[in-house]
Amino acid sequence: MAKKHLVVAFLFVALFLGGFVVNSWYSSYTSLFSGNFPSSVIIQGEDVSVEGYLRTDPIGLVNATLYHPYDRITIVLGSSDTREYCDSTGKCQFRTLAAVETSCVVGKLLGSYYYETAREIGYNDSAARKFALEQVSKRIDASEWLTFQLKLSIGRGEIGNKHHLLIILRGPLDGAIENRIYVPRRGVLVLEALDEETLYREALLIEGITGISCSKS
């Protein structure tokens, strides 16, 4: 009998601890978006601010975040609410535009990096481009919609760190509270907008901030 109680008590404690850990991961995920950040600048004429977790030039911080060679990059397209909205209404064009511009820019960033690496070891131009594309296809995941599990991985820091860049698109249905581009912690960049069209503009602003673009010039 005592043994049985012990087992039950143990299970209870294990469940409780498990719940506690999951809860702390989850809340560290949600805390990414709640912060008032120590540094902020407004991009004039755009009604978008750029903010960062460090007391430094936030534009420099966005650049520092993107200009870092990561092993992997994940782009989160939105929450399940937006996903459902997209599927039920089919009105997802601006989210698509934002996602395409963003993933093209990071594809180019990482692609250039591997291209140079390949050139360095003697590949010719086209072989190096092929190598870059293979690496990018392997390392960039530009097609993730948020799931509970993904939230936990982010909260735990498994995604969104100095080896694994995380970019989150956060629109009106995903809980956006401002028009802003921000770096809430190392290896995480959030584009947050109160409407989908602004989210797209923010994706274009990233191209202006980094000076990298997939576009014609």
Distance in Å, CB of 139 to another protein, minimum = 9
The single residue among 72, 130, 156, 185 that binds another protein, judged by CB under 8 A, is 130
**Is residue 174 part of the contact set for another protein (CB under 8 A)?**
no
**Calpha distance 65→53 (Å, rounded):** 11
> Which positions ≥6 away from 11 have C-beta within 8 Å?
none
Report the 10 Å Cβ neighbour count for 185.
17
Binders in 175-194 for another protein, by CB under 8 A: 186
Query: Phi/psi class of residue 47: alpha, beta or left (left: φ > 0; alpha: ψ in -120 to 50)?
Result: left
Stretch that binds another protein, among 11-19, 142-150, 152-160, 172-180 (CB under 8 A): 142-150
Please, what is the minimum distance in Å from the beta carbon of residue 175 to another protein?
18
Min. distance of Cβ 216 from another protein in angstroms?
5
Residue 110, number of CB atoms within 10 A of its CB:
22
28 binds another protein (CB under 8 A): no
Residues in 91-120 that interact with another protein by CB under 8 A:
91-93, 95-97, 99-117, 119-120
Separation between Cα atoms, residue 189 and residue 170, nearest integer Å: 11
